[in-house]
């Protein structure tokens, strides 16, 4: 468990330690066969002709672990998956990144990796939604699509000679606005079938990037965004005589209601608390943390305090204990 960056009194420290010890005991019992630490012997059947992969070492006729993690097996390959490691891109990963440079026919993005990723102009759908070849005019207008500091959701396409390439060939990918971008340790975001979540009761969307970037924002209908863009373009073409009236209408359309902004901030603080505690990010855990803050009438800014952090750990220990009993 990482060192918390908050000050705890003696009572809170004891309560937190008790909850974390309970969580650790539950986790160790569930993964006792798969978890290893440095110098642990990995039990193998050598008659199968196993292949030793990352995190393993042949020592005195035995295979031992060289890192702390979980033993994984793919056919004959045995390796140890580190519990806390830097983000390692895999093809098909959903990532969230920030544009750092607009280069010829490509954008460069910071995706919390050792190098910037590349999103080619030819690897994305254009804002008009029409499937067509990109032209010289599209290349000249690249900055009107994405510019520096824009937050983009994309998918890992693979490695090429000039680095890691991304693609955004679906309406669910592209620029994301009206929200917050949080950074957590990549090991806290597991690869799952679904990384896009709509929280209907709060009117917000969650995007879990495998690279540790989590985007929280207002629910946006892609068709609505396209209508606004079309209206803005038409107004610009017609001239400035429509600018006053229509401009105000567009601003009203993109205004985020106060309640939605509060929900975004509350959810963001819930993720910050869970990240400080080192808990795996799931929609269920995040929503339970948000519900706990609402049930206790805790203000958004008070969620980052020491007492709510301890309450969150105790609530998670209680949830895992009850789920274990039901199982």
* pLDDT tens column, 126-185: 766 666 677 788 788 888 889 999 999 999 999 988 889 999 888 889 898 889 999 999
Instruction: Return the structure tokens found at 301.
Output: 């800014």
- pLDDT, residue 101, reads 93
What is the CATH topology of the domain spanning 86-176?
OB fold (Dihydrolipoamide Acetyltransferase, E2P) (2.40.50)
Would the CA dihedral through 191, 192, 193, 197 be positive or negative?
Answer: negative
DSSP three-state, residue 214: strand
* C-alpha triplet 13, 290, 273: angle, nearest 5°: 40
Give the separation between CA 96 and CA 105, rounded to whole angstroms: 20
Q: How confident is the model at residue 254 (pLDDT cuts 50, 70, 90)?
A: low
9-18, 242-251, 253-262: least confident range: 242-251
Taking the whole predicted model, whether its pTM rises above 0.85 is answered as no
What are the residues whose beta carbons fall under 8 Å from the beta carbon of 58, sequence distance 6 or more?
52
* Residue range 176-231, pLDDT digits in tens: 888 999 999 998 998 888 999 999 889 899 999 999 999 999 886 655 544 444 44
What is the CATH topology of the domain spanning 31-82?
OB fold (Dihydrolipoamide Acetyltransferase, E2P) (2.40.50)
Enumerate the CATH 2.40.50.100 domain ranges in the chain, comma separated.
Answer: 31-82
- pLDDT, residue 191, reads 87
Give the separation between CA 258 and CA 1, rounded to whole angstroms: 36
CB–CB of 78/71 below 8 Å? yes
- pLDDT, residue 240, reads 42
Enumerate the CATH 2.40.50.140 domain ranges in the chain, comma separated.
Answer: 86-176
- Report the Cα 256 to chain-centroid distance in Å: 22
End-to-end CA distance of the chain: 26
């Amino acid at each position: 468990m990482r060192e918390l960056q908050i000050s705890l009194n003696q009572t809170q420290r004891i309560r937190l330690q008790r909850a974390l010890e309970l969580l650790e005991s539950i986790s160790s019992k569930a993964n006792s066969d798969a978890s290893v630490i440095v110098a642990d012997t990995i039990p193998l059947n050598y008659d199968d002709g196993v292949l030793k992969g990352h995190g393993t070492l042949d020592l005195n006729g035995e295979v031992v672990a060289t890192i702390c993690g979980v033993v994984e097996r793919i056919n004959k390959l045995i390796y140890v998956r580190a519990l806390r490691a830097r983000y390692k891109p895999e093809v098909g990963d959903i990532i969230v990144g920030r544009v750092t440079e607009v280069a010829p026919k490509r954008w460069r993005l910071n995706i919390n990796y050792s190098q910037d990723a590349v999103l080619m102009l030819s690897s994305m759908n254009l804002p008009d939604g029409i499937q067509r070849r990109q032209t010289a005019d599209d290349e000249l207008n690249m900055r009107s699509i994405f510019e520096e500091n824009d937050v983009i959701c994309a998918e890992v396409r693979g490695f090429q000679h000039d680095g890691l390439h991304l693609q955004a060939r679906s309406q669910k990918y592209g620029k994301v606005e009206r929200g917050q971008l949080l950074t957590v340790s990549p090991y806290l975001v597991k690869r799952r079938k679904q990384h896009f979540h709509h929280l209907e009761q709060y009117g917000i969307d969650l995007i879990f990037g495998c690279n540790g970037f989590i985007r929280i924002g207002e629910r946006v209908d892609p068709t609505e965004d396209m209508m606004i863009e079309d209206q803005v373009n038409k107004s610009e073409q017609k001239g400035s005589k429509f600018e006053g009236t229509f401009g105000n209408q567009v601003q009203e359309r993109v205004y985020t209601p106060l309640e939605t902004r509060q929900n975004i901030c509350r959810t963001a603080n819930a993720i910050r608390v869970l990240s400080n505690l080192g808990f795996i990010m799931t929609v269920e855990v995040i929503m339970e943390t948000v519900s706990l803050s609402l049930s206790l009438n805790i203000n958004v800014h008070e969620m980052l305090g020491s007492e709510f952090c301890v309450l969150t750990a105790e609530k998670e220990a209680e949830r895992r204990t009850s789920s274990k009993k039901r199982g």
